[in-house]
Amino acid sequence: MLSRLWQAQSWTPKTLGSDLLSWWRADAGITLNGSNVSAWADQSGNGKTLAQSTAANQPLFEAAGLNGFACVTFNGTTNILSTSHLTELDGATGMVIAASLQPTSRTNYWAIAYMRSSSDGFVFDSIFSSPSSGWRYGQLATNGFGQTAAYTTSSLLPAVVTGRFLSSKNYIYTGQTSQASTATSSATIAANVQPLYVGGRAPGTSLAPLKIRELVICKTGLTDNQLASLQVYLARQSGQ
């Protein structure tokens, strides 16, 4: 029992090995411009640093802003970070994007993370359609938003939200619960050249009122056990 507990407590995304593509955590790798975040270093070892050179567009660093834990806070009006296109996902047959986060408003549509051109790439976002709102994820190919998995929630509480592409199907989860799934018309992620944006779809577009504790991207769909370990880790790291 003690051995299993120790293993659970010592698990990090690095345990995923080559499946891990990028990992940002708010208690490591932060470069500050005053109280703002100008760069957020990738902890996976793959060099996918998120950055923002324009001071007015830099999100806020809060040392205890999400359940008493460090987080990067996006104001929903100007803040966004980006890194270069994740070429490792072009043609991939699976991916996972997971975050421990807290929305601060659900009055508009906004993107958590976005790497998409026309109807390819992927989208991970908060949807809003009065009176409903919720989370949505999709690996996108020829049918665009017809391939997204989405469900309704108006909660502003901290959550672990996960999007997963596996075996030609998209899934979205909160915690370890699969909330929705949908089959895709493509077995792979269609290639594009767009940057990865975090905190919006692009500068000035669908910006997020959001606190992020950690954000992880994997270049496979992971096994069920790997996914559960990641979700448990993110919950533990954000006091959920």
- The 3-class secondary structure across 10-46, one letter per residue, is HCCHHHHHHHEEEEEECCCCEEEECCEEEEECCCCCC
Q: Write out pLDDT tens, residues 112-160.
A: 999 998 778 899 999 887 666 899 999 886 655 568 899 999 899 999 9
Beta-bridge partners for 165: 95, 170
Mean pLDDT of the chain: 92
- Half-sphere exposure of residue 186, counting CA atoms within 13 Å on the CB side? 25
Domain total in the chain: 1
Domain assignment of residue 8, yes or no: no
Domain membership of residue 121 as a residue range: 20-237
Give the amino acid at 107: T
Domain assignment of residue 122, yes or no: yes
Backbone angles phi, psi at 231, to 5 degrees: -65, -40
pTM for the predicted model, two decimal places: 0.95
Domain assignment of residue 143, yes or no: yes
Backbone angles phi, psi at 3, to 5 degrees: -65, -45
DSSP class of residue 6 equals: H
Which pair of structure tokens corresponds to residue 157? 């509480």
Domain assignment of residue 5, yes or no: no
By residue count, the chain amounts to: 240
Residue 4: is its pLDDT beyond 70? Answer: no
Domain assignment of residue 77, yes or no: yes
Domain assignment of residue 3, yes or no: no
Domain assignment of residue 56, yes or no: yes
pLDDT at residue 7, as a whole number: 52
- Domain with residue 131: its CATH number is 2.60.120.200
